[in-house]
Amino acid sequence: LGKCLLSPIVLAAYAYNRSLSELGPGGRTDGEPGVLCQLFAFLMAFFGLAPTLLLLAMALECWLSLGHPYFYRRHLTRRLGATLGPAAAGLCALFCALPLLGFGVPMQYCPGTWCFIRMAGGGPRQLGFPVLYASLMGLLVLAIGACNVSSMRHLYGMARRQPRRGPPAAAAPRMEELDHLILLGLMTVLFTICSLPLIIRAYMGAFAADFNENADLSALRFLSVNSIVDPWVFIIFRTSVFRMFIRRVCRRL
């Protein structure tokens, strides 16, 4: 949904050879972001935070189902899962709308085809939101990492308790747990690497006054890479050929 909403705006800016502020009503200069630029900044912030919150919900579910199966069976229902998504999206939308209300400043970045929250320069009112945004992202990253590491520990313990030798049917559960273990590890490392640059840039802009649009653009690209690559990691890893390759490597090791 984020790609479908954001990509046409960028393509239109390139097609008309204009910046986002010039395309939409409102501002006509780099220092005055227009309505389209403000909308773009809101969508960028929202689709950076909302999937992270949903990833935390998935990591919590995985951790509870493996580490606390009785609590999971008794308290986590389909109704709770159905309401969690809209609730998370609503909270993220309210939080990311704060710059539109004056807490934080949307800003057009070079080369004029993307907008985000101003992460350097200005006073506490302008820089308070990016610091808060980065802190929230950092807490979510830590929580997701902790849940996934705990889930991996439970999966490793389950695999260790499976019989090492015997017929193929006896070894299948152990290999299935190792499959999930490797997949969780890959996704955790990928998510952490892609999320940290934006968090670091927000703190550097606020406390070190480091105004570097190229570095900010690279940080946003890293954040976008996560949402593109993560599904492919999951899809490719679930194929039988790749899983067979991983199992042979694990057996040799």
Task: Give the closest residue to 24 by CA, choosing from 132, 113, 142, 146.
Answer: 113
Provide the sign of the torsion angle of the four alpha carbons 94, 100, 104, 106, taken in this order: positive
**Distance from C-alpha of 157 to C-alpha of 54, rounded to nearest angstrom:** 26
pLDDT for 209: 67
Comparing C-alpha atoms, which of 2, 34, 46 is closest to residue 107?
34
What are the residue ranges of helices labelled H in the chain?
A: 2-16, 20-23, 35-67, 69-75, 78-96, 124-161, 168-207, 213-237, 240-252
200-208 long-range Cβ contacts below 8 angstroms, 24+ apart: 201/119, 202/119, 202/130, 202/131, 202/133, 202/134, 203/131, 203/134, 204/120, 205/119, 205/120, 205/121, 205/127, 205/130, 206/119, 206/120, 206/127, 206/130, 206/131
Confirm whether 233 is domain-assigned.
yes
More confident residue, 114 or 253: 114
Query: What is the pLDDT averaged over residues 102-128?
Result: 73
pLDDT above 70: percentage of residues in the chain: 79
H/E stretch holding 106: strand 106-109
142 domain-assigned? yes
Range of 73's domain?
A: 38-160+172-251
Amino acid, single-letter form, for residue 130: P
Within-domain flag for 165: no
Residues in the chain: 253
How many structural domains is the chain composed of?
Answer: 1
Q: Say if residue 113's pLDDT is above 60.
A: yes
Residue 111 has pLDDT above 70, yes or no: yes
pLDDT tier at 46 (50, 70, 90 boundaries)?
confident
CATH number of the CATH domain containing 195: 1.20.1070.10
> CA-CA distance, 230 to 47, in Å (whole number)?
15
Mean local confidence (pLDDT), 61-84: 82
pLDDT at 42: 86
Tell me which range, 73-82, 204-213, 227-236, is most confidently predicted by mean pLDDT. Answer: 73-82
Domain membership of residue 222 (yes or no) is yes
Using pLDDT thresholds of 50, 70 and 90, give the confidence band for residue 131: confident
Task: For residue 224, name the pLDDT band (cuts at 50, 70, 90).
Answer: confident
Rounded Cα–Cα distance for residues 198 and 145 (Å): 17
**Residue 72, in any domain of the structure:** yes
Would you say residue 83 lies in a domain? Answer: yes
Full-model pTM = 0.73
Top-confidence residue, 235 or 125: 235
For residue 63, being part of any structural domain is answered with: yes
pLDDT (tens digit per residue) in 140-176: 888 888 888 888 787 777 767 766 555 554 445 455 6
Domain for residue 221, yes or no? yes
